[in-house]
Structure 1
Amino acid sequence: MTVVSNDPSSWLWITSWRISSYFVVAASVGVTYDWALTLGQEVELVWRQRWSLMTVLYLSVRYLGISFAVLNILINVPTIFLTDAVSWSLYITVNWMYVVIFPMLRVIVITRLHAMYQQSRKMLIFLIAIFLADTIFNVVVFVMSTRHTSGEEYILSGTYDCAITYKDNFLLLDSMTWIFGTVWEVIVLFLAVWIAVKHFRELRQHSTGGVMEDCFTVLIRSHVFYFLSFLAVSCLNLMVFSPAISVNPNVLRVDFYYGTLQVLTVVQMFVLGPRLILGIRDYTAKLVTDSDAATHMTSIAFEERVHISTGSGV
């Protein structure tokens, strides 16, 4: 259904859409810029290395992120060329990307922790059990929300846009997915910090070299940055229940709030996510370059096998 109106009261909606589109474009440009910035590392550390599960995950997250950026611009930047049916299809595609990419990021984290815990089968089973429960819940919520949402095309004072209408219980279900997701992130951060502290103590007691300590430092640093970004996104998502936002969804400061949420979500998924792999591969490559001893080291950075002559495979 298409709604046409030239009512001056609709100008607030038009301003809101324009502000939202600015943030969407900014987030999309950020993803593309980060890809261009790391393209040289990607070619050297990913494309030219032996392929593994981590290679597939890295490329999937990275290039789905670029596709996500393009589709998000098409959805949020008003244009006459997109009908309500096309916009609705793009909206569903973008949301399915969320459902697919989050499990990929968690598989990366599980693989890191599994290696840090010296391939402990009990730890792997524990992580997989939590991962499957959370993923199944997210898929069910998404299917339910998709069945109870609809799209409408608006032509307000010559401006074209497609608005998505949600049922009353959508925000509650969506908040539950972020709550469970935050619980998952807290658990994996605790496990990472715990094993890192344990290894640091062992290294001090035995007065061994600092290579392992440095590797754990790289792992923890990247993990903490990723966790903090996810925590920020979760908090902003849960704040949607605030009366100041839910009661006045079209106030300009609320548009900046949603815009900030959009940018942080994209950065967390498509910038920091791929760097969980790329950062460790870069660190391992530097170890190989700087020390002959590194060629005999089994990396704890979730490497399946290392072939120094051809580079590391993560």
Structure 2
Amino acid sequence: MTVVSNDPIWWPLINASIISSYFIVAAFVGVMYDWALTFGQEVELIWRQRWSLMTFLYLSVRYIGIGYAMMYILDNVPTISMTDAVSLIINDAIDWTGDVVDVILGVIMITRLNAMYQRSRKVLIFLVVIFLAIRIANAVIVIIMTIHTSGEEYILFGTYQCIIDETGDSLILSSTTWILGTVWEVLALCLAVWIAIKHFRELRQHSAGSIMGDCFTVLMQTHISYFASFVVLSCFRIGFFSPTLSADIYSMDTQIYFGLGQIFAIVQMFVLGPRLILSVREYNAELVANSDTATAMTSIAFQENVHVSTSSSV
């Protein structure tokens, strides 16, 4: 049922929706800018190479990100008219898309760690078991939240709003998914730091140590950048529990805070996520172009299915 009203009491909601839409559009522009910035590398290092699991994972994260941002715009820009059913479907699609991307990023991280641990079966089994346990728990929580979510369409002063009502313990359930995600990210970082330190110590005694060390440096730099963005996003999520923010969720300060959190979330998933693969492939391509010893890196850089041309045209 559509509710039409021109009551001034709705002005805080309208203003909050407009402010939120600005941040969503800014996040979309950021994703598109990063895509345009790296498209040349993507063509050379992804599209023109032999396809592998990493190819599909990269393309999935990269192009799901563009669709994800567009769905956010459709769901939040107040000048776009949608029925409450359509808006609710888009809202659920956004939630599930975020979970799907988290799974893809988890697979990328497992692949990186498995390569760093020289394809240790024990480490792989440990990572897969922990990851599946966390993702299954999160999926169950998202299903519960989806069941208890409803939406209603409002036309307020000519703007279209769909107010989502989340009944039950949605705040507790959402916090649980964040805590489980934090456990996974911290575990992945600890394992990466541990094996990197171990390898740096061992490689000092080998002639190829500088090459192997450089690769581990690239892996750790991208991992730490990704984890740093997760820490920043986690700090924003902790701030959501602040009584100051919850006291007036439609205030400009609160909406700016929420908007910055959305930008960091989208950047982490759809900018830094694809770079976990792209940066390693770029390093490996440079190594192949500059040194015949690059073949020693294939087991570390998970590039076993990637062929990089070394002709003069590269």
Residue number in structure 1 paired with 2:251: 251
Q: What aligned pairs does 1:260-271 form with structure 2 within 5 A after superposition?
A: 260-271=260-271
How far apart in 2 are the matches of 1:35 and 1:95? 23
1:298 CA drift (Å): 2.6
The change in CA–CA distance for 1:294 and 1:243 in structure 2 (over 3 A counts) is: same
1:264 CA drift (Å): 0.4
The change in CA–CA distance for 1:272 and 1:297 in structure 2 (over 3 A counts) is: closer
1:308 CA drift (Å): 4.5
The change in CA–CA distance for 1:155 and 1:40 in structure 2 (over 3 A counts) is: same
User: Does the Cα contact within 8 Å between 1:49 and 1:310 map onto a contact in 2?
Assistant: no
Q: How many equivalent residue pairs?
A: 311
Superposed CA offset, 1:152-176 (max 9, x none) = 1121122111121111400110011
1:85 alignment partner AA:
A
How far apart in 2 are the matches of 1:238 and 1:136? 23
1:232 has 2:253 as partner: no
The change in CA–CA distance for 1:98 and 1:297 in structure 2 (over 3 A counts) is: closer
Residue number in structure 2 paired with 1:273: 273
How far apart in 2 are the matches of 1:151 and 1:295? 56
User: Does the Cα contact within 8 Å between 1:19 and 1:255 map onto a contact in 2?
Assistant: yes
User: Does the Cα contact within 8 Å between 1:284 and 1:299 map onto a contact in 2?
Assistant: no
1:136 CA drift (Å): 0.3
Q: What aligned pairs does 1:1-314 form with structure 2 within 5 A after superposition?
A: 1-206=1-206, 208-309=208-309
Structure 1 unaligned spans of 5+: none
How far apart in 1 are the matches of 2:229 and 2:87? 29
User: Does the Cα contact within 8 Å between 2:52 and 2:305 map onto a contact in 1?
Assistant: no
- SS in structure 1 at match of 2:3: strand
Taking structure 2 as the reference length, what is the TM-score of the superposition? 0.95
How far apart in 2 are the matches of 1:232 and 1:264? 8
How far apart in 2 are the matches of 1:7 and 1:297? 66
Q: CA RMSD in A?
A: 1.6
1:299 CA drift (Å): 4.0
The runs of 4+ residues in structure 1 deviating greater than 6 Å are none
How far apart in 2 are the matches of 1:128 and 1:310? 36
How far apart in 1 are the matches of 2:80 and 2:128? 46
User: Does the Cα contact within 8 Å between 1:113 and 1:192 map onto a contact in 2?
Assistant: yes
How far apart in 2 are the matches of 1:28 and 1:112? 28
User: Does the Cα contact within 8 Å between 1:50 and 1:310 map onto a contact in 2?
Assistant: no
Superposed CA offset, 1:132-156 (max 9, x none) = 0110011101100000011111211
Percent identity between matched residues is 61
User: Does the Cα contact within 8 Å between 1:175 and 1:238 map onto a contact in 2?
Assistant: no
The change in CA–CA distance for 1:141 and 1:170 in structure 2 (over 3 A counts) is: same
1:208 CA drift (Å): 4.3
- SS in structure 2 at match of 1:163: strand
1:86 CA drift (Å): 1.4
1:230 CA drift (Å): 1.2
